[in-house]
Amino acid sequence: MATILLIHGAFHGGWCWRDPARILLGEGHEVYAPSLTGLADRSHLLTAAVDLETHIRDIVNLIQWEGLEDVVLVGHSYAGMPITGAADRIAERLSALVYLDAMVPDDGQSAWGIRSAGVAAYRLEETADGLAMAPPPPAVFGLTGGLVESAAGKLTPHPKATLHQPVHLTGAWRQVPKKLYIRAAQFNAPYFDRAYEAAAADPSWIAVLRDAPHNVMMTEPDWFVGQLRLHVL
């Protein structure tokens, strides 16, 4: 059985992995789905000091303090930034990296810089206190029906500094044995298209294209778990 760490994207929290986590736990895997500092059930910790380094440490510390090895580290959307930063520091503890419609940064890039290099999927607005970016409507993430109602009360402002701080990488993260990129094509984001195309052209990666909304782990949890089984578990 595998150890799987699921990291959510901007505005979300560990709650968005509920259905995939239940499936994986039912199969006997060890599953962690924490909320990053300043978001969801940890939104009370939002300050101007919460930056990308904070989120990288969230991941690294969980792995170190829990004594986890051979971890399948999954990141959705913005989480491509902190999972890459974490993997660069503890690549020896990881068996696979999974980017689900996620950013794949180079050294010195920020999430804001990646997102700004082309047409963005939606416009971001600052909160009144200037500490964060306000969440867009759930429909932006491709959610419909009951999923809209579920997410509407759970999406929280995203710490602004995490988007502007550049990531510093040595390249050690590329030594992780398995790397999977899943592109959910219904989400209009050229920066994810570029990441998918780069993965598809690299024989050390597996690249999967799906006609699905951005939050495919919520809309199609069985399919998403199936991709993990097929490629990294």
How far, in Å, CA of 161 to CA of 54, rounded? Answer: 10
Look-up of token digits 């949890």 = 221
In whole angstroms, what separates CA 13 from the centre of its chain?
Answer: 10
- pLDDT score for 33: 98
Where does the chain show beta strands of DSSP type E? 3-7, 30-32, 71-76, 94-100, 132-133, 158-159, 178-184, 206-210
For 19-77, what is each residue's pLDDT tens digit? 999 999 999 999 999 999 999 999 999 999 999 999 999 999 999 999 999 999 999 99
- pLDDT score for 89: 98
Q: Phi and psi at residue 155, in whole multiples of 5°?
A: -65, 135
Q: Six-digit token pair at 63?
A: 């792995």
When the pLDDT of each residue in the chain is averaged and rounded to a whole number, the result is 96
pLDDT at 211 over 70: yes
Hey, which CATH number is domain 3-231, 3.40.50.1820, 3.40.630.20, 3.30.830.10, 2.40.50.100?
A: 3.40.50.1820
- pLDDT score for 119: 58
- pLDDT score for 150: 87
Q: Six-digit token pair at 26?
A: 């039912």
- pLDDT score for 123: 79
Q: Phi and psi at residue 78, in whole multiples of 5°?
A: -50, -30
For 111-131, what is each residue's pLDDT tens digit? 999 988 655 667 789 999 999
Task: Give bridge partners of residue 230 from the DSSP assignment.
Answer: none
For 197-206, what is each residue's pLDDT tens digit? 999 999 999 9
- pLDDT score for 122: 72
Q: Select from 93, 121, 123, 108 the least CA-distant residue to 190.
A: 121
How far, in Å, CA of 225 to CA of 179, rounded? Answer: 16
Contacts of 89 (CB under 8 A, 6+ apart): 56, 60, 172
List, by residue number, the catalytic residues: 77
Q: Select from 86, 32, 44 the least CA-distant residue to 61.
A: 86
Half-sphere exposure of 212 (CA within 13 A, CB side): 18
Q: Domain boundaries in the chain?
A: 3-231
CB count, 10 Å around CB of 205?
Answer: 18
Task: Give bridge partners of residue 183 from the DSSP assignment.
Answer: 209
- pLDDT score for 116: 81
CB count, 10 Å around CB of 219?
Answer: 20
User: What's the average model confidence in pLDDT over 104-111?
Assistant: 98
Q: Six-digit token pair at 32?
A: 């962690």
Region for 77 from its dihedrals, namely left if φ exceeds 0, alpha if ψ lies in -120 to 50, beta otherwise: left
